[in-house]
Structures are given as C-alpha cells and as structure tokens.
C-alpha cells in the first residue's frame, strides 16, 4: 500500500499566504485611512466656509465681527470650538464686561447661524484639532482657521498668514497676528 498523499500547505506556503494577506490588508486600511482623512478635511473646509458666510453677513448688518470669548492677546480676542457656543460673541473670561462694544452676541444671536455648532471631526484639543477664531479688538479683522490632514498646499496658498493652518480671514492679518509674535511653526496662541 502506498501511503496516502494528503494535499496540504507546507508551513512556508502558509507563511507566504499570510504575508500576502497582511500586505493587502495594510494597503486597504491605508487607503481607507486616507479616504477618511480627506473626508474630514472636506467637512472642515465646508464648515469654515459656512462660518465665513455668517461672519460676512454679521459685518454687513453691524459693521463689525462678533467678539471672541477670551482676550487671547492684547490686540485680539479668540474663540474655539473647545468652548461651548463657537462664535457666540460672549466673553466667557469676563462675562461682566462682555464685549466692550455692542453687539454682544454672535452668529446665532444675530439669527445668522441656526444649525448645531459644528466641530472638527476629530475635535481633539491635545492635537489642536478644532476650529479657531481670532478677531482684532476693533472687530474689523478676523481669521477663522483649522488644521487640515491631507492638503498642505491649500493651507499654504489660502492667502492667510500661517502655512500650517487652513484659514479664511478678512483684513490685514498681520495686524491680528504680528509676524514677530508667530514662531517658526506659526503657532497661533488662542
């Protein structure tokens, strides 16, 4: 009697198959990650454009932009989506003073923004993944900005002041962020 020949994978064949599967899986996961990051960036850009629309309408009505909710530097106020009510025009750090000049409300108070306050898809303070607003004290110059994950060219060529933020702003941003204040990485303090 001949011994029964069982067709089976050798260990080497199994290892090769496992390696190929692992490689394919990593390619698929990497492209999924990249697609997700692009989708998050698209949402960020759309959200900032919505803020821009509201801010321009606000300016048309009141001749100035809303307050930020903190005095983040002597020349400007700041706000971010890490505090409740982004662009709500309230000075949470000094509610008694509020805005020094009326109107003391923001986009929702003006009826210019009705949906829920959008947040950065990652909304991670430690990673700086949020939406930010800076407004000069006279409320004639503003910058609203966030970090993108996949589009450094857009962050660089948006007409803003920092290459590592996607920005939509109005006015001379160098008077909002004096250039000697911004470090090498253009870290904006808010």
150-173 core/surface letters (b: 16 or more CB in 10 A; e: else): ebeeebeebebbbeebbbbbbeeb
Residue of 118, 120, 167, 190 interacting with Ca ion (CB under 5 A) = 167
Residue of 160, 168, 176, 190 interacting with Ca ion (CB under 5 A) = 160
Residue among 68 and 160 whose Cβ is closer to Ca ion: 160
Structure tokens at 123: 């909304």
Smallest gap from residue 10 Cβ to Ca ion (A): 56
Residue 155 near Ca ion by CB under 5 A: yes
Contact region with Ca ion (CB under 5 A), list: 3-11, 60-68, 131-139, 149-157? 149-157
Question: Which regions of the chain does DSSP assign to beta strands (E)?
Answer: 70-73, 76-80, 132-136, 142-146, 166-170
Contact region with Ca ion (CB under 5 A), list: 64-72, 102-110, 158-166, 169-177? 158-166
Query: Among all chains, which residue has been given the structure tokens 């698209």?
Result: 42
Q: How far apart are CA 172 and CA 142, in angstroms?
A: 9
Residue nearest to Ca ion (CB): 160
Q: Which residues contact Ca ion (rule: CB under 5 A)?
A: 155, 158, 160, 162, 165, 167
């Amino acid at each position: 009697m001949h011994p029964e020949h069982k067709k089976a994978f050798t260990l080497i064949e199994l290892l090769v198959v496992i390696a190929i599967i692992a490689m394919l899986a990593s390619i698929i996961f990497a492209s999924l990650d990249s697609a997700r990051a692009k989708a998050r960036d698209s949402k960020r850009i759309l959200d900032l454009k919505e803020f821009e629309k509201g801010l321009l309408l606000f300016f048309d009505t009141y001749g100035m932009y809303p307050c930020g909710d903190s005095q983040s530097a002597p020349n400007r106020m700041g706000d971010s989506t890490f505090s409740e009510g982004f662009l709500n025009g309230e000075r949470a750090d000094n509610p008694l003073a509020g805005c020094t000049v009326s109107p003391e409300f923001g986009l929702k108070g003006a009826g210019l923004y009705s949906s829920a306050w959008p947040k950065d898809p990652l909304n991670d303070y430690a990673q700086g993944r949020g939406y930010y607003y800076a407004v000069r004290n006279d409320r004639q110059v503003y910058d609203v900005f966030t970090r993108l994950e996949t589009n450094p060219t857009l962050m660089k060529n948006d007409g803003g002041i920092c290459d590592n933020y996607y920005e939509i702003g109005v006015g001379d941003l160098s008077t909002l962020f004096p250039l000697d204040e911004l470090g090498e990485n253009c870290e904006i303090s808010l």
